[in-house]
Amino acid sequence: MKIALPQMSFIIPISALLLYPFLYLLPLNLVRFRWGFEEGLAPMPPEVQEKAEAADRVVLFVTHVILLGIVVLLMHSSPISAYEIGLTADNWKSALGMGVLLSLFPVGLSELLLRNRPAEEVRKELKSHGSVANWCGLSTLGSFSHEFWRAFCIVSLIRLGLSAWVAVLFVAIVYGTLHIQTSVARALGSAAFGGAAGFLFVNTASLLSPLAMGLIVAGANLYQVRQASSSFERIGTNQGIHHPESRYSRPCPACGAIIRLSEVHRAVDILACPNCGESLTTEKKYLWVVAALSVVAAIYATGHLIYRDLLYAFVTEGLALVLFFLGAFLLGLLVPPKYKPVGGKTFDKALSLFGMDKSDTDKKSARK
């Protein structure tokens, strides 16, 4: 026998869906609004820019609070309970694990995209200015309010008769449309993130899973933006040219020259210093830690997901291998490389696939 659920007004989910883009598109920053109204597109003086950035943080905090408060009011005026929204401690271990595991993909993708952006563009990000503690609080509040809104919208659409996956897709599209004013790529990325968060909520029936993913992604993005924006311009030795430095630029241990990965010849894990030609490689001492953590995580995951039969060892080994490569990939993205010399002769040209090419010095000695 099916249990009839209380009917809900069609206005409640529509109001909740429209609330998110409406709130975040409102020009609530009066400093920027006044400057744009009076000065147009003229650049702001430093003191006005600082006031505008401080106002941005206040507006973001107020917007998060308003979104959370209105969703709570809508929930109280609807038959949806807090348990349906995912405010429960049931299966919290698996929910937390799925959220942490799925967060690795957007974190890695964000780092890849950020590495291709110039430091001057990254410095324009809101998170590159202001106190780190303030942004940690804003990121936490924003993640919770967004996931609470997303869960309420999904549940309310399901109450109207839509399937769970159609509701997830619909909410993800609304979530992504807010960023279409920035770029289509960013809107698609936001929609994909919203779809992943909705999938976690529907699959685990817990708000903890998408919240864990959102907090990890927000924290990693804050760290990435701060690290990228802290890069400085070093005056070059040739004619005083300014070169933008990134956190991946590290000195050569032989001559001390700054090595930029875009300016060197590489062959697998070996590169040549563009100044002295010293053969260098990166230190890999943290890979042992990644390997150990991958094995422990694989044993724990397979022990809770499958029975201890003949497939247990094979699944554990395969999962540990996947986690190791994923961890090594993220380690290379998040941790700047540290170079050390490679035993052997130096080279001054690009290495071939099989390492059979000789350096210019060896060719000259062979002619003699």
Residue ranges of domains in the chain? 11-229, 248-283+337-359, 287-334
Q: What is the mean pLDDT of residues 218-233?
A: 73
pTM of the model: 0.68
Identity of the residue numbered 295: V
Q: Residue 243 forms beta bridges with which residues?
A: 234
The answer to whether residues 217 and 194 touch, using CB atoms and an 8 Å cutoff, is: no
Q: What is the mean pLDDT of residues 73-83?
A: 90
Ranges 57-71, 154-168, 175-189, 307-321: which has the least confidence? 307-321
The pLDDT confidence band at residue 227, using thresholds 50, 70 and 90, is confident
List Cα–Cα distances, 335 to 250, 287, 348, in angstroms: 12, 12, 27
The pLDDT confidence band at residue 235, using thresholds 50, 70 and 90, is very low
How are beta strands 270-272 and 279-282 bridged, if at all? antiparallel
Evaluated on CA atoms 63, 66, 69, 72, the torsion sign reads negative
| Dist CA 184 CA 343 (whole Å) | 48
Q: Looking at the predicted structure, is the pLDDT value of residue 238 above 90?
A: no
Q: Residue 281 forms beta bridges with which residues?
A: 270, 340
Q: Looking at the predicted structure, is the pLDDT value of residue 309 above 60?
A: no
Q: Looking at the predicted structure, is the pLDDT value of residue 186 above 60?
A: yes
What would the pLDDT profile of 102-122 be if each residue is shown by its tens digit?
Answer: 888 888 777 766 666 666 666
Question: Among candidates 182, 355, 203, 142, which has minimal Cα distance to 266?
Answer: 355
Q: Looking at the predicted structure, is the pLDDT value of residue 149 above 50?
A: yes
Ranges 25-39, 187-201, 268-282: which has the least confidence? 268-282
| Dist CA 358 CA 316 (whole Å) | 44
Q: What does the pLDDT read at residue 212?
A: 92
pLDDT, greater one: 234 or 20: 20
- Per DSSP, helices labelled H in 40-131 are 46-76, 82-85, 92-115, 119-122
CATH of domain 248-283+337-359: 2.20.28
Mean of the per-residue pLDDT values of the chain: 75
